Amino acid sequence: MSGINDFSFKMGTVNGTGSASANGLLMQAIFRMGIPVTGKNIFPSNIQGLPTWYEIRVSKDGYTA
């Protein structure tokens, strides 16, 4: 039996707080350490007051899904 050593985490932030820049910076820092990483906006909110969800997945094989 083989295991998968992937790491994924979601962040929810208030829309309009610079969350896209902060999330992109975190993803870029992981990438610069030589680790394949993928980031995706799960729910980009256009309604004021609702959160924007961002998911980062770290995988040695570079999986995105």
3-state SS, one letter per residue, for 14-44: ECCCCHHHHHHHHHHHHHHCCCCEEEEEEEC
Higher pLDDT, 32 or 56: 32
How many domains, in total, are found in the chain?
1
Residue 1 is predicted with a pLDDT of: 46
Where does the pLDDT of residue 44 fall: very low under 50, low under 70, confident under 90, or very high at 90 and above? low
Q: Is residue 1 part of a domain?
A: no
Residue 43 is predicted with a pLDDT of: 67
Question: What is the number of alpha carbons within 13 Å of residue 2 lying toward its C-beta?
Answer: 3
Mean pLDDT of 8-29: 80
What predicted TM-score, i.e. pTM, was given to this entire model? Answer: 0.66
Cα(51)–Cα(48) distance, integer angstroms:
8
Q: Is residue 2 part of a domain?
A: no
Residue-range definition of the domain harbouring residue 34: 7-58
Mean pLDDT of 18-31: 83
